[in-house]
Chain A
Amino acid sequence: QQQVKQSPQSLIVQKGGIPIINCAYENTAFDYFPWYQQFPGKGPALLIAIRPDVSEKKEGRFTISFNKSAKQFSLHIMDSQPGDSATYFCAALLGGSARQLTFGSGTQLTVLP
């Protein structure tokens, strides 16, 4: 069964801290790894994504680190702000014609002012 395991389930940091959310996958056929951000009452929205031929990708304060050999990837949020408080989902997409996302279980992040 295709799975993406995400941890921690919840995370509380102070403003300015660097929360880190981790994900691990099993299927080496995954070829695209996006992170989605979801605010209460809203649908998930794409935050940042990476392909397995790249070890790191930065977009503003958000960084994905990717370890292909360990089959793990993580999201780092630099200088976190209260407005970053949301639920974050990692996901993985199979290559080929079956373009379906498999999601992790989500991390509820709270950034305290």
Chain B
Amino acid sequence: DAEITQSPRHKITETGRQVTLACHQTWNHNNMFWYRQDLGHGLRLIHYSYGVQDTNKGEVSDGYSVSRSNTEDLPLTLESAASSQTSVYFCASSPYKNTEAFFGQGTRLTVV
């Protein structure tokens, strides 16, 4: 079955380190998104991509970057991890011109 997977599921890192969270989908969806989830804030959009080589900043993009070299993957990089980036991160994908977004299981990141 097609799916979207995130790795790792849990990560503890130190302040200042570079961290990359992986997202891989097998639906061949054009659209991919990264959100962070924090209590009281719901899900906030970090970055998104509408296709290969396309990346765009979302509402809370500072300190994060993404790259899209193929349809299946959208890795999220924290350039220099900060304690404020401790959160649960969700990757999602959706078909072109469709509306439903499919979410991964999430990555819980702790920055100490």
Contacts and interface: CB of A to CB of B under 8 A. Distances in A.
Given A99-B31, A99-B94, A100-B48, A43 B103 contact: yes
B68 interface: no
Nearest to B45: A100
A36 B42 CA distance: 11
A101 B101 CA distance: 9
A113 B55 CA distance: 46
B84 interface: no
What band does the interface of chain A fall in when counting residues whose beta carbon is under 8 Å from B? 20 to 34
A93 B90 CA distance: 18
Contacts of A46: 100-102
Interface stretch (A60-68, A69-77, A102-110): A102-110
A41 B33 CA distance: 19
Given A9-B40, A105-B41, A45 B103 contact: yes
A103 B101 contact: no
A100 B35 CA distance: 11
Interface in B22-63: 31, 33, 35, 40-45, 48, 50, 58
| Most B-side CB within 10 Å, residue of A6, A44, A49, A106 | A44
B106 A32 contact: no
What band does the interface of chain B fall in when counting residues whose beta carbon is under 8 Å from A? 20 to 34
A73 to B, nearest CB: 15
* Nearest 9 pairs of A and B residues by beta carbon: A43-B103, A103-B42, A103-B43, A105-B42, A106-B42, A44-B103, A32-B99, A46-B100, A43-B104
16 contacts: A6-B42, A32-B99, A34-B99, A41-B105, A43-B92, A43-B103, A44-B90, A49-B100, A100-B48, A101-B43, A101-B101, A103-B42, A103-B43, A103-B44, A105-B41, A105-B42
